[in-house]
Amino acid sequence: MLAEGEGHKGIAMTALSWLSTRQTERIGAVGTELSAKITIHDVARESGVSIKTVSRVLNREPNVKADTRDRVQAAVAALNYRPNISARSLAGAKAYLIGVFFDNPSPGYVTDVQLGAISRCRQEGYHLIVEPIDSTSDVEDQVAPMLATLRMDGVILTPPLSDHPVVLDALEREGVAYVRIAPGDDVERAPWVSMDDREAAYEMTNHLIGLGHRDIGFIIGHPDHGASARRHQGFVDAMRDADLPVRQDRVEQGWFSFRSGFEAAERLLGGADRPTAIFASNDDMALGVMAVANRMRLDVPAQLSIAGFDDTPGARITWPQLTTVRQPIAAMAAAAADMLMSGVQHEEGDPPPSRLLDFELVVRESTGKAPG
């Protein structure tokens, strides 16, 4: 272990007084590398119109002559002008800021959400504010101040926040629009983007059944996530439709974590009588199953097929690689950002504007024909 600061030259922490960028610019003479901030006035002067007209062009407002618009746009390009977000936000209704709230994310999920959302936001000049919420402490205390200081045009909620009543209440009270990703049952309350978890689980189960498996174990996900119940339902429906029994001792409760999958697998595979396949409600738990199988020297998939859900990066980081369901996480986030930027609004009584995106079955090496 290395003591802080040890073994390196000149690394003392030195906090010098702040010399504001602004002052530097002011002071800096002509020719300084720091270009003076150019404003809407510069563009107006350059193109010979009023600042209001420049503003119109910038905001794609109607009733501007094509000729005028062109002149302004040329000036914008020539001066390399960019409107200042703080000023726009202060003066106008839009904030050009979209929030992403998340809590205890599985690695990769949040990053995918951010990447997906940004891909849309960039085009429209929006930026992303990330706000981790710790739902084990007072959520109200975290959300309310944040909403009061920073105006956002909307918030993207990731599970399990998509269903957190305190968060939803706070958002509504502050009048901030939001879109939920993969919410639970309360589908009528507010806009959402999701995928058909039930159908996906149904198809995965069918994939297993098609491989000859008749005795399939299932690990349920975290009860706070709405998707958990839907995935379980898909499994049950597929078994029913294939006239296969759903044995209660083949269904274990998990928590979406590696550890919970590991422990569930120990119970599932502990006795002599064991299933020939296990379908876990997410990849982390499936990887837990995989670990138990490895430890027990079970050959995957020859002796045991394992299926996951989510197609997290971890699904490819094992051997054999995991058969799983690819969630369109980035696409869902992009759709949510879209809705927020176009100003979705849920009118009382109407069904909330929402979108259901496609999933994809990703068959890799962890599932194979049933033994015997």
Question: Using CB under 7 A as the criterion, which residues of the chain lie in contact with DNA when the complex forms?
Answer: 37, 39-41, 48-56, 58-59, 62-65, 67-68, 81-84, 87-88, 90-94
Return d(Cα 314, Cα 305) in angstroms, integer.
Answer: 17
Choose from its own copies, DNA, none: what does 313 bind? Cβ within 5-8 Å by kind.
its own copies
Mention every residue, 6+ apart, whose C-beta is less than 8 A from residue 229.
184, 185, 223
Q: Which stretch binds its own copies (CB under 8 A): 31-39, 47-55, 205-213, 218-226?
A: 31-39
Least Å from the CB of residue 75 to its own copies: 15
50 versus 294: smaller Cβ distance to DNA: 50
Residue 123 as a binder of its own copies (CB under 8 A): the answer is no
Nearest CA among 119, 192, 140, 158 for reference residue 357: 192
Least Å from the CB of residue 77 to its own copies: 12
Return d(Cα 261, Cα 281) in angstroms, integer.
Answer: 9
Residue 47 as a binder of its own copies (CB under 8 A): the answer is no
Choose from its own copies, DNA, none: what does 56 bind? Cβ within 5-8 Å by kind.
DNA
Choose from DNA, its own copies, none: what does 223 bind? Cβ within 5-8 Å by kind.
none
Please report, for residues 96, 137, 164, 244, the alpha-carbon distance to residue 150 in angstroms, rounded to integers and kept in the order given: 11, 21, 21, 54
Q: Determine if residue 158 is left, alpha or beta; phi over 0 gives left, psi from -120 to 50 gives alpha, anything else beta.
A: beta
Choose from DNA, its own copies, none: what does 195 bind? Cβ within 5-8 Å by kind.
its own copies
Choose from its own copies, DNA, none: what does 60 bind? Cβ within 5-8 Å by kind.
none
Q: Among 36, 87, 242, 302, indicate the residue that binds its own copies (CB under 8 A).
A: 87
Least Å from the CB of residue 81 to DNA: 7
Instruction: Let me know: does 105 contact 114? Beta carbons within 8 Å.
Output: no
Please report, for residues 92, 151, 303, 338, the alpha-carbon distance to residue 123 in angstroms, rounded to integers and kept in the order given: 20, 20, 50, 11
φ/ψ of residue 275, rounded to 5: -65, 160
For 280, the 3-state DSSP assignment is strand
Q: Which stretch binds its own copies (CB under 8 A): 50-58, 59-67, 214-222, 349-357?
A: 349-357
Nearest CA among 327, 360, 317, 340 for reference residue 112: 327
Q: Which stretch binds its own copies (CB under 8 A): 49-57, 178-186, 205-213, 309-317?
A: 309-317
Choose from its own copies, DNA, none: what does 345 bind? Cβ within 5-8 Å by kind.
its own copies
Residue 3 as a binder of its own copies (CB under 8 A): the answer is yes
214 versus 353: smaller Cβ distance to its own copies: 353
For 10, the 3-state DSSP assignment is coil
Choose from DNA, its own copies, none: what does 108 bind? Cβ within 5-8 Å by kind.
its own copies
Return d(Cα 46, Cα 39) in angstroms, integer.
Answer: 11
Residue 273 as a binder of its own copies (CB under 8 A): the answer is no
Per DSSP, the residues of 144-198 read: HHHHHHS--SEEEE-TTGGG-HHHHHHHHHTT--EEEES--S-TTSS-EEEE-HH
Choose from DNA, its own copies, none: what does 371 bind? Cβ within 5-8 Å by kind.
none
62 versus 175: smaller Cβ distance to its own copies: 175
**247 is written with which tokens?**
């044995």
Alpha carbon 86 to chain centroid distance? 26
Q: What angle do CA 119, 122, 125 make, to 5 degrees?
A: 155
Residue 319 as a binder of its own copies (CB under 8 A): the answer is yes
Least Å from the CB of residue 66 to its own copies: 25
Choose from its own copies, DNA, none: what does 272 bind? Cβ within 5-8 Å by kind.
none
Q: Among 27, 74, 345, 369, indicate the residue that binds its own copies (CB under 8 A).
A: 345
Mention every residue, 6+ apart, whose C-beta is less than 8 A from residue 267.
252
Residue 107 as a binder of its own copies (CB under 8 A): the answer is yes
85 versus 251: smaller Cβ distance to its own copies: 85
Q: Among 69, 151, 274, 364, indicate the residue that binds its own copies (CB under 8 A).
A: 151
Residue with tokens 């296969």: 244
